[in-house]
Each structure stands twice: as C-alpha cells, then as structure tokens.
Amino acid sequence: MRFFLFFVFIVVFPVKAQVISTQHCGYDFTSYLVIDVHEQGKTKNIKNLRITIVDSSGTEVINKNNRWSWVNNNKPLLFTPNYKLNSQGEKVAESNPDGRWFFPFAKDNYLLSIVNTFTTDNFSVKIEDVDGEENGGYFETQVIPLYPFNMYVLCSSENERQAQQFGRRTNRPVEVILKRKEEQ
C-alpha cells in the first residue's frame, strides 16, 4: 500500500504541475508588423495605400499553405488599416470619439498578422499609392527592408525573452515617410 501511495504522489503531482504551468497567450505563434506611413512634418497616416511584403526581387510574397501568416491562405501578404469599434463590437468611423481601436497597439496604422517564425531579414515592405480618390497617386512607391525588431510580439513570455537581448527593441512600428511625386 505504501508503494502504491508513493507511486501516486510521484506520478500525479508532477503531471498536475506541468498542466498548470502551460497556460498560453491568445497571440501564441502570431506576431504583427505595423507600418506608420505619413508625409514629412505630418503625423496623420496616409489612407488608401497598397502595402505588401515583397521578396528580394520585388515580387509580392504569396502566403502558400499559411507559411507566413495564419490568415489569407494562398494570397499576397497585404497590410490592412486598423479600425475602431463601438461598445457593441461594430465598426465605426475613425473620427468617432467613443470608438476604441481593434488593435490598441497599432492605433491608426496599417498592420499584418504573421507567424512568429517569419524571417524578416529576407523580405521588404512595398508601399504604393494607387490611383484613387483619396491620394490621387501623388506619392512615390517605396521599398523598405524589414528587420527582426520590426515585429510586434504580443505574448509576455516572448516579450520577456526579447527584453533580455541587446539592440533595438521590438514592438515599434516601421515608420515610413512618403515623398510626393515631382510635378512634370
């Protein structure tokens, strides 16, 4: 009987301790890239831009079999603007003072959900002002290289690990200052 109780204590308590300590974050395995795009001397973000991830040859990266992101399978990695919600969880206008940002860390910037294993060193961000009513295609296209510190890692355990590293800190938007095209 003593051996049975001893066996139960040895097996049950360590298993219980392991189950308790494996609590996960809602953002496990996911990070974000946040792009803050504005003109020189202005803080307001430029709307209606096409922002994509491109490889070293400038070709848009396709998310084949969710390799780079858990959303938009087999589509280009395209940034979307953050948006505000009301208290009922419905989208509201950005000017609504009672609205709150869906992703509070991104404010009025563009963002893209990516997997934590995304290798930023191999990619760049391409910002294009497509002809439209808002901007009229007035801004030059820019390609900005990405770095590991550009990723927003939202889980606290991953943030603690990265906080112990030297160099630039994570969870900062990529700031892009667009230039207007020269009048011809």
Q: What is the pLDDT of residue 183?
A: 60
Output the average pLDDT for the chain. 81
Q: What is the pLDDT of residue 103?
A: 84
Tell me the average pLDDT across 57-66.
Answer: 95
Residue with tokens 């298993």: 15
Over the stretch 44-55, which tens digit does the pLDDT of each residue have?
Answer: 889 889 999 999
Q: In this structure, which amino acid lies at residue 172?
A: R
The yes-or-no verdict on residue 164 having pLDDT over 70 is no
Q: What is the pLDDT of residue 27?
A: 56
The yes-or-no verdict on residue 13 having pLDDT over 60 is no
Q: What is the pLDDT of residue 184?
A: 46
The yes-or-no verdict on residue 97 having pLDDT over 90 is no
| Prediction pTM value | 0.76
For residue 179 the two structure tokens come to 């230039």
23/25 Cα distance (integer angstroms): 7
142 touches 57 (CB < 8 A) = no
Measure Cα distances from 80 to 9, 37, 150 in Å: 53, 12, 17
Tell me the average pLDDT across 13-40.
Answer: 68
